[in-house]
Chain A
């Protein structure tokens, strides 16, 4: 069991215009793109969305393979959505008689549209996570959510928690690996038996891991206090986010996309 090659999140570090964008803008534009996907009322209206995604992906220099990989965990949901819609949606024009069910033209179109919509949502989100370092993402989120501080939403605390989680995931994985090896050396078996048995075998792994995680948390809290951490108040930042020309262009293109989708909606 090796956790060596773990990459945090799925950030793909290359130098591109998309990578260099302000994370805040990227998050907002992701939401806008999602809106565009849902705005599309027919298959034709999804065409401009697909074109936009293809262009953005091209510009980001992220390999297509990597983007497609993001769909893999969703394959069952995708198939399920497709099949369900295919069989259970009402339609008028029969297309294919399978004996136990009749597939209709309208339901095929809707099934394709729904599945495509799901695919596009995932691909857009992947594009964000592939081109934005996790730390930049938390930074962007903190800034975007900070107006909510007025209603006592803990934007800074949330971002700090995410940062610390990101920092400690590799450390805890390493530790889990160490404990696992120690337990295996003493005869523990993590790899055979059914799912239930294997889950049970995890208990002697999880208990020490939790204990140590709490100890670490205590240590870290003290270290943070010793370094004058006292919440988000009066805190300055090393990195200031700044909107540049490319960010304005990106906004413009997404606006064009939404208008395009609305236009196609009207035409068909």
Chain B
């Protein structure tokens, strides 16, 4: 597919030769500019899949291509990682420098961006995530959400086509989580950056273009959030809960309120309830 940024073709991956497969026969295609959420319990293989998508791991079987480049070809490695940046889970363990500005510069230094170009790109990236006023601060003094936004800026400065978020909100408090998710949604909407959002928080996936559910290394459900989250029974099979609002809607329907199917967000709920009054 020409318009897909990530293409996974029957991809399997095992950490060791005799270890069980962490990812099994996954086929997936992500078009440019979309926001895809990947859901799954711990150990479902979602994090492993993320690392297959920028060449941190190479598939045991099958092929992964990023912008048409095979991740197994070593000469592509750095270009793939520039185009598909990654933000990790632990905000403390991915910042390298002792000053925010210099941390954002780290990726630029690695790919050999000329010194004159750096300040402009750093500033734009920091402004995009709303962290410009912290440019001269030490990262260890920032909150978790702020650290993650700095990490995003570090990726953003490299002008990527896509950013893969590997449970980047898992260690944040609700406020930090909102901060980061909002910044990411903005980047997706305004800059057309493709987003792969790996999470175990259902609520974070309701506004995605597509949702993939992983279980035991396989993609077991795929579709629009509305399609996926209304199948509450099936989700429970994979030990996932539908978003709270969806569950509430179902209970209310059961209790006799004539609500339509497919309510996922509190806003939609409010609208539908208001119609009834």
Residues of B contacting A134 with CB < 8 Å? 98
In the complex the two chains form, what is the Cα distance from A230 to B155 in whole Å?
16
In the complex, what's the smallest C-beta–C-beta distance from B254 to chain A, in angstroms? 45
In the complex, what's the smallest C-beta–C-beta distance from B187 to chain A, in angstroms? 17
* Interface pair A167/B109, CB less than 8 Å apart: no
Interface pick from B79-87, B220-228, B261-269: B79-87
Count of inter-chain pairs, beta carbons less than 8 A: 93
* Interface pair A235/B110, CB less than 8 Å apart: yes
Q: Is A222 an interface residue (CB 8 A)?
A: yes
Contact of A238 among B108, B112, B158 (CB under 8 A): B108
Q: Is A237 an interface residue (CB 8 A)?
A: yes
Q: Is B56 an interface residue (CB 8 A)?
A: yes
Q: Is B106 an interface residue (CB 8 A)?
A: yes
Residues of A contacting B260 with CB < 8 Å? none
* Interface pair B78/A230, CB less than 8 Å apart: yes
Contact of B78 among A171, A223, A228, A238 (CB under 8 A): A228
* Interface pair B118/A226, CB less than 8 Å apart: no
In the complex, what's the smallest C-beta–C-beta distance from B62 to chain A, in angstroms? 21
* Interface pair A223/B115, CB less than 8 Å apart: no
Contact residues of A between 207 and 255, Cβ < 8 Å to B? 216, 219-220, 222-230, 234-240
In the complex the two chains form, what is the Cα distance from A230 to B80 in whole Å?
14
In the complex, what's the smallest C-beta–C-beta distance from B24 to chain A, in angstroms? 23
* Interface pair B88/A223, CB less than 8 Å apart: yes
In the complex, what's the smallest C-beta–C-beta distance from A127 to chain B, in angstroms? 22
Contact residues of B between 127 and 159, Cβ < 8 Å to A? 138-140, 154-155, 158
Q: Is A176 an interface residue (CB 8 A)?
A: no
In the complex the two chains form, what is the Cα distance from A222 to B94 in whole Å?
8
Q: Is A42 an interface residue (CB 8 A)?
A: no
Chain A count of residues within 8 A CB distance of the other chain: 29
* Interface pair A219/B93, CB less than 8 Å apart: yes
Known: A171-B140, A227-B154. A163 touches B110 (CB 8 A): no
* Interface pair A226/B85, CB less than 8 Å apart: yes
Q: Is B54 an interface residue (CB 8 A)?
A: yes
Closest to A175 in B: B92
* Interface pair B109/A236, CB less than 8 Å apart: yes
* Interface pair B140/A226, CB less than 8 Å apart: no
In the complex the two chains form, what is the Cα distance from A240 to B116 in whole Å?
10
Most chain B CB within a 10 A radius of its CB, from A164, A224, A227: A227
A-contact bits for B53-97, CB 8 A (1 contact / 0 none): 010100000000000000000000010011001101010111111
* Interface pair B98/A220, CB less than 8 Å apart: no
Known: A219-B88, A226-B86, A228-B78. A170 touches B110 (CB 8 A): no
Contact of A163 among B96, B122, B154 (CB under 8 A): B96
Closest to A231 in B: B110
- Give 23 A-B contacts (CB < 8 Å), ordered by A residue: A8-B98, A135-B102, A163-B97, A167-B98, A170-B140, A171-B92, A216-B90, A219-B94, A220-B94, A222-B51, A224-B96, A225-B81, A226-B81, A226-B86, A228-B111, A228-B158, A229-B106, A230-B78, A238-B105, A238-B108, A238-B115, A238-B122, A240-B115
Binding site for A on B (CB under 8 A): 51, 54, 56, 78, 81-82, 85-86, 88, 90, 92-99, 101-102, 105-115, 118-119, 122, 138-140, 154-155, 158
Given contact pairs A163-B96, A237-B109, a sample of 6 additional A-B residue pairs in the complex whose CB atoms are under 8 Å apart: A224-B96, A226-B81, A226-B86, A234-B112, A238-B102, A240-B115
Binding site for B on A (CB under 8 A): 8, 134-135, 163-164, 166-167, 170-171, 174, 216, 219-220, 222-230, 234-240
